[in-house]
Amino acid sequence: MSRTRTALLSALALVAGTAGAAVAAIPQDVGALAVPCTVDYKVQNQWDSGFTAAVTVTNNSAAKLSWSVKWSYAGNQKVTSGWNARISQSGTAVTAANESYNGTLATGGSVSFGFNGSYSGTNALPTAFTLDGVACNVDDGGGGPTDPPEEPGDRVDNPYAGAKVYVNPEWSAKAAAEPGGSRIADQPTGVWLDRIAAIEGVGSGMGLRDHLDEALEQKGSGELAVQLVVYNLPGRDCAALASNGELGATEIDKYKTQYIDPIAAILKDSKYAGLRIVTTVEIDSLPNLVTNVTPRATATANCDTMKANGNYIKGVGYALNKLGDAPNVYNYVDAGHHGWLGWDDNFAPSAALFKQAATAEGATVADVHGFIVNTANYSALKENHFTINDTVNGASVRTSKWIDWNRYTDEQSYALAMRNQLVSIGFGSGIGMLIDTSRNGWGGTARPTGPGATTSVDTYVDGGRYDRRIHLGNWCNQSGAGLGERPQAAPVAGIDAYVWIKPPGESDGSSTAIPNDEGKGFDRMCDPTYTGNPRNNNNMSGALANAPLSGHWFSAQFQELMKNAYPAL
Residue among 523, 522, 540 at smallest CA distance from 531 = 540
Q: How far is CA 360 from CA 290, 317, 319, 367, 516, in A?
A: 17, 5, 10, 11, 34
Catalytic residue of the set 140, 284, 496, 527: 284
Q: What is the DSSP string of 86-119?
A: EEEEETTEEEEE--TTS--B-TT-EEEEEEEEE-
Phi (first) and psi of residue 114, to 5 degrees: -145, 170
Helix (H, G, I), strand (E, B) or coil at 276: strand
Cα 72 to the center of its chain, rounded Å: 33
Helices and strands in the chain: count of H runs, count of E runs: 12, 23
Look up residue 399 and give its DSSP letter. Answer: G
Q: Whole-angstrom Cα distance, residue 192 to residue 283? A: 11
Complete edge-to-edge strand list for the sheet that includes strand 86-90? 86-90, 93-97, 68-72, 129-131, 134-135
* Catalytic residue chosen out of the listed positions 410, 467, 508, 527: 508
CA-based nearest residue to 415, from 492, 320, 313: 492
Helix (H, G, I), strand (E, B) or coil at 187: coil
Residue 508 falls in the annotated catalytic set: yes
In angstroms, the CA 325 to CA 158 distance is 18
* Inter-CA distances, 312 with 8, 338, 372, Å: 52, 21, 17
Q: Is residue 538 classed as helix, strand or coil in its secondary structure? A: coil
Give exposure, 339-361, as e/b (b: 16+ Cβ within 10 Å).
bbbbbeebbeebbebbbebbbbb
Instruction: State the DSSP H helix or E strand holding residue 304, giving kind and residue range, or none if neither.
Output: helix 301-309
In order, the DSSP letters of 59-83 are: E-SS-BSS-EEEEE-SS--EEEEEE
Q: Which residues contact 97 (CB under 8 A, 6 or more apart)?
A: 66, 67, 68, 69, 85, 86, 87, 88
According to DSSP, residue 258 is labeled I
Q: How far is CA 484 from the centre of its chain?
A: 11
Query: Are β-strands 276-281 and 329-334 bridged in parallel, bridged antiparallel, or unpaired?
Result: parallel
State the Cα–Cα distance between residues 387 and 466, nearest whole angstrom.
13
Give catalytic residues, as residue numbers: 284, 508
